[in-house]
Amino acid sequence: MTVRKNQAALTADEKRRFVAAVVELKRSGRYDTFVTTHNAFIVGDTDDGERTGHRSPSFLPWHRRFLLDFERALQEVDSSVALPYWDWSTDRSIRSSLWAPDFLGGTGRSRDGRVMDGPFAASASNWSINVRVDGRTFLRRSLGTAVRELPTRAEVESVLAMPTYDTAPWNSASDGFRNHLEGWRGVNLHNRVHVWVGGHMATGMSPNDPVFWLHHAYVDKLWAQWQRLHPGSGYVPVAGTPNVVDLNDTMKPWNDVRPADLLDHTAHYTFDAA
Partner 1 sequence: MPELSRRRALTAAAALATMAGVQPAVAPTVSATEHGRHTPASFDEVYKGRRIQGRPVSGGAHQHHGGGYAVSVDGVELHVMRNADGSWISVVSHYDPVPTPRAAARAAVDELQGAALLPFPAN
Amino acid identity for residue 64 in this structure: R
- 153-160 and 211-229 are packed helices; what angle lies between their axes, rounded to 10 degrees? 50
**Distance of alpha carbon 111 from alpha carbon 94, whole angstroms:** 18
Out of 14, 20, 37, 227, the residue judged to bind partner 1 by CB under 8 A = 37
Residue 195 found at the interface with partner 1 (CB under 8 A): yes
**Distance of alpha carbon 34 from alpha carbon 200, whole angstroms:** 14
Judged by beta carbon, residue 89 or residue 208, the one nearer partner 1 is 208
Residue 33 found at the interface with partner 1 (CB under 8 A): yes
Out of 56, 58, 96, 206, the residue judged to bind partner 1 by CB under 8 A = 206
Per CB under 8 A, contacts with partner 1 among 100-139 are 112-113, 130-136
Residue 68 found at the interface with partner 1 (CB under 8 A): no
Residue 44 found at the interface with partner 1 (CB under 8 A): yes
Residue 46 found at the interface with partner 1 (CB under 8 A): yes
Residue 173 found at the interface with partner 1 (CB under 8 A): yes
Count interface residues toward partner 1 (CB under 8 A). Answer: 46
Length reported for the chain: 274
Residue 260: name the closest of 31, 57, 46, 99 by CA: 57
Residue 265 found at the interface with partner 1 (CB under 8 A): no
Residue 146 found at the interface with partner 1 (CB under 8 A): yes
**Distance of alpha carbon 15 from alpha carbon 7, whole angstroms:** 8
- φ, ψ of residue 78 in degrees (nearest 5): -150, 110
Judged by beta carbon, residue 37 or residue 241, the one nearer partner 1 is 37
On the 0-12 / 13-18 / 19+ scale of CB atoms within 10 A, 175 is middle
Residue 191 found at the interface with partner 1 (CB under 8 A): yes
- 30-44 and 59-77 are packed helices; what angle lies between their axes, rounded to 10 degrees? 170
**Longest CA span, the chain:** 51
Q: Terminal CA-to-CA distance of the chain, rounded, Å?
A: 17
Out of 42, 100, 122, 229, the residue judged to bind partner 1 by CB under 8 A = 42
* Nearest distance from C-beta of residue 230 to partner 1, angstroms: 25
* Nearest distance from C-beta of residue 191 to partner 1, angstroms: 4
Out of 101, 163, 234, 253, the residue judged to bind partner 1 by CB under 8 A = 253
Out of 7, 19, 23, 39, the residue judged to bind partner 1 by CB under 8 A = 39
Q: How far is CA 111 from the centre of its chain?
A: 27
Residues that bind partner 1 (CB under 8 A): 33, 36-37, 39-44, 46-50, 55, 112-113, 130-136, 146-147, 169, 171-173, 183-184, 190-192, 194-195, 202-206, 252-255
